[in-house]
Amino acid sequence: MTTLHVPPFPAPAARTPSPAYETGTGTPRDGADTSTSPGTGTPRDGALSVWPGSTTPLAHGDLAVGGVPLTEVAERFGTPAYLLDEGDVRARCRGYLHAFKDAEVLYAAKAFLCRAMAHWIDEEGLGLDVCSAGELELAVTTGFPAERIVLHGNAKSPDDLRAALRLGVGRIVIDSASEIARLAAAVPPGSRQKVMVRVVPGIAAGAHAKIRTGTDDQKFGLSLTDGSAQHAITRILGQPTLDLVGLHCHLGSQITAEKPFLCAVRRLVGLMARIKDQHGVTLPELDLGGGHGIAYRPGEDALDIASLAPKVRAELAESCAAAGLPVPRLIVEPGRAIAGPAGVALYRILAVKRTGERIFVAVDGGMSDNPRPALYGVRYAPRLVGRRSTTAPEPMTVVGRHCEAGDVLASDVPLPGDVRPGDLLAVPVAGAYHLSMASGYNLVGRPPVVAVADGHARLLVRRESLEDFRSRDVGL
């Protein structure tokens, strides 16, 4: 029997804590709202329960995030704009490291990535999970250590694989049988690339059919049920340039129940036991992916990672003991759960009109900066900020400026009956899958990203301009 001894991801360099947060605690200073524990999935009470942990009410109906009034951000940087609370991001990173003490935590870059985000993740001691050469190159050129990066994806291009091998990523997740020979041939002579296999365990989990990836009826991974995963593993073990170090799975997104993760542990450990029996190889790593659900509106469920983590560890230990295996190194990949609750989107109202029984509030953004309501039917909780209204709320539908009837940001949400053009609306939980999924539809430029921390705001990503569109259009 062969037990593979694979070194863990290299330890990160010592981090410099954010001045807005006490060292290592994730606790805001200066009397900020501490009724939430970022990263634990435990909501605060009240209307601000889904807002960044530093959010505080101000006079005249304004709110401050990271010590910066939202009206100030809107006036200084314009709208639409994304705001990201640096302290909240860092606190959620620390929450994961605290919950999963003996695991590797990788931030899923697809949720949101920019140079500053990569820097924060690196400083807080997380690795990175990327799915393209673009995400990889941006992170590495920022200074993120390539050996602490995992590349995955269901259809990696030759450029993706070349970049991963050239830069020296820590792991590549093999997603299809055709990828095995292609990757093996691309590895430089005398080298070995550490790889994992993405296994489809046959578990249905996730908030919407379009974001469930643990079953056999979707494009990701290799099936446990039909033997595809086992066949791929046999082929990989026969490739001298590939070093199989573990199994990977990702069940889906917005999962708020613990049971699917525990079931995945049992099924993957079962496959590990079969690999040991058939090939004499003990794999040292098991990656459970991410998909940890968050609340987008007050009262919604969220996955409590402080509760999940010990149950996963216990299930892993029990399953391995029953199978006669050593406990593999656990890896988790949160993305939305770190970036989502730390973000706020800001919009100006352009028009308010009543059509039949419905009131439509049109804003200066829409599906180009947030396609998720159109794609998945996601619901948000916009809030009027910048002035205090005493008018009773009415159900209104917040829509965007694009030429689509489906350009709806929030349906039937209560807003003061006197909302008018020029008012500022803020939408919480906008840190994940907003800019990363944004488009240039109608040639409306993508919004900027503004970081707030310790009472200061700074631009991370500038607004996309008409000149950006013109410069890419090179033909006549």
State the binding site: 291, 333-336, 372, 376, 404, 433
Q: Which segments are annotated as binding site for pyridoxal 5'-phosphate?
A: 291, 333-336, 433
**Cβ pair 172, 151 in contact under 8 A:** yes
Kindly provide the b/e burial profile for residues 435-453, where b requires at least 16 CB atoms within 10 angstroms of the residue's own CB: bbbbeebeebbbbbbbbbb
**Cβ pair 34, 27 in contact under 8 A:** yes
**Cβ pair 189, 240 in contact under 8 A:** no
Q: Among residues 245, 216, 210, 240, which one has the least CA distance to residue 228?
A: 216
Q: Which segments are annotated as binding site for substrate?
A: 336, 372, 376, 404, 433
**Cβ pair 410, 363 in contact under 8 A:** no
Separation CA 300–CA 420 (nearest Å): 29
Token pair, residue 40, equals 């634990």
Q: Among residues 382, 471, 376, which one has the least CA distance to residue 433?
A: 376
Token pair, residue 305, equals 């990672």
Q: What angle do CA 387, 392, 394 make, to 5 degrees?
A: 100
Token pair, residue 390, equals 């005493």
**Cβ pair 306, 41 in contact under 8 A:** yes
**Cβ pair 46, 298 in contact under 8 A:** yes
Instruction: Determine whether 403 is an active site residue.
Output: yes
Catalytic residue, chosen from 114, 263, 320, 403, is 403
Supply the residues annotated as catalytic.
403
